[in-house]
């Protein structure tokens, strides 16, 4: 059955062109026992650095690591912050975060019990080459009906499109940043002033003509 869905995903994916920006907060957020929303973990959010004078966003790997650190905490209120970071990393295409999210949905731990969401995320992680996620998806598939699988295929397509869009946007942003840095270095290099009395190399004129040098 998983092979059939893979073929369906491959066939339908080419017809999906629009990418919707979705944050982890919009997908799900956790609450305290008093039904108060937990604060967004500062470690997984954009921040302003006064020293460097700019807004910085943690990398996908950093967000994943923060989520795993929260999950391993001995304090329950801290563990409940893990889904935000892991969902954020999962939406950015981190396939291990996607598997962790699938497990949390499957266990109903810090995310609501939802086997279809668990299957969706494990399947998306498997599409990206995660063998553990593929085995997990195959295990979950045994407990899903044909109707469940049909419904999940649509969710896989939609979320996969968002994930691929996010990955592409990050790659383009990284390339643009690298290009800007290279251009800045070239600009600084071309503006370097030579010491007084020395002519810059690109403005040197030959002292002797070609004919003189051959004598």
Residue 13 has pLDDT above 60, yes or no: no
Q: Give me the pLDDT at residue 197, please.
A: 52
- DSSP for 127-170, please give it: HTT-HHHHHHHHHHHTT--HHHHHHHHHHHHHHHHHHHHHHHHH
**Alpha carbon distances (Å) from 80 to 57, 96, 104:** 22, 19, 11
Which comes out higher in pLDDT, residue 107 or 5?
A: 107
Q: Which residue has the tokens 């889904």?
A: 83
Q: Express each pLDDT in 14-25 by its tens digit.
A: 333 333 334 443
For residue 142, name the pLDDT band (cuts at 50, 70, 90). very high
**Cα separation of 16 and 162, whole Å?**
10
Q: Give me the pLDDT at residue 169, please.
A: 82
Mean pLDDT check: name the lowest of 41-50, 186-195, 197-206: 197-206
Phi-psi region at 180: left, alpha or beta (left = phi > 0; alpha = psi -120 to 50): alpha
Q: Give me the pLDDT at residue 214, please.
A: 52
CB atoms within 10 A of CB 69: 15
- CB within 8 Å of 122: residues ≥ 6 apart: 98, 99, 102, 133, 134, 136, 137, 140
Q: What is the mean pLDDT of residues 149-166?
A: 88
**Cα separation of 145 and 70, whole Å?**
34
For residue 185, name the pLDDT band (cuts at 50, 70, 90). confident
Q: What is the mean pLDDT of residues 161-184?
A: 82
Residue 36 has pLDDT above 70, yes or no: no
Q: What is the mean pLDDT of residues 127-148?
A: 94
For residues 109-146, one letter each, b for 16 or more C-beta atoms within 10 angstroms of the residue's C-beta and e for the rest, the string is ebbeebbebbbbbbbbbbbbebeebbebbeebbeebee
Q: Give me the pLDDT at residue 16, please.
A: 34
Q: Give me the pLDDT at residue 174, please.
A: 74
Q: Give me the pLDDT at residue 144, please.
A: 92
Q: What is the mean pLDDT of the chain?
A: 77
Share of the chain above pLDDT 70, in %: 70
Q: Express each pLDDT in 57-85 by its tens digit.
A: 889 999 999 999 999 999 988 898 899 89
- DSSP for 174-204, please give it: HHHHHHHHHHHHHHHHHTPPPPTT---GGG-
**Cα separation of 137 and 117, whole Å?**
11
**Domain spans in the chain, listed from the N-terminal domain onward:** 2-187
For residue 33, name the pLDDT band (cuts at 50, 70, 90). low
């Amino acid at each position: 059955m998983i092979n059939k869905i893979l073929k369906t995903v491959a066939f339908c994916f080419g017809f999906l062109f629009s990418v919707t920006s979705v944050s982890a907060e919009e997908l799900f957020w956790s609450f305290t026992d008093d039904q108060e929303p937990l604060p967004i973990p500062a470690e997984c959010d954009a921040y302003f650095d006064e020293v460097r004078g700019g807004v910085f966003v943690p990398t996908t790997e950093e967000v994943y690591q923060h989520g795993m650190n929260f999950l391993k905490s001995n304090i329950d209120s801290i563990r409940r912050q893990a889904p935000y970071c892991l969902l954020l990393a999962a939406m950015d295409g981190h396939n291990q975060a996607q598997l962790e999210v699938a497990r949390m949905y499957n266990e109903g731990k810090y995310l609501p019990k939802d086997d279809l969401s668990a299957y969706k995320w494990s399947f998306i992680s498997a599409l990206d080459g995660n063998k553990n996620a593929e085995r997990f998806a195959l295990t979950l598939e045994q407990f899903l009906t044909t109707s469940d699988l049909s419904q999940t295929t649509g969710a896989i397509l939609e979320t996969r499109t968002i994930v691929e869009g996010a990955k592409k946007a990050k790659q383009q942003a990284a390339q643009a940043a690298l290009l800007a840095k290279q251009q800045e270095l070239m600009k600084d290099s071309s503006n370097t002033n030579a010491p007084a009395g020395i002519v810059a190399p690109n403005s040197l004129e030959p002292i002797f003509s070609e004919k003189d040098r051959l004598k």
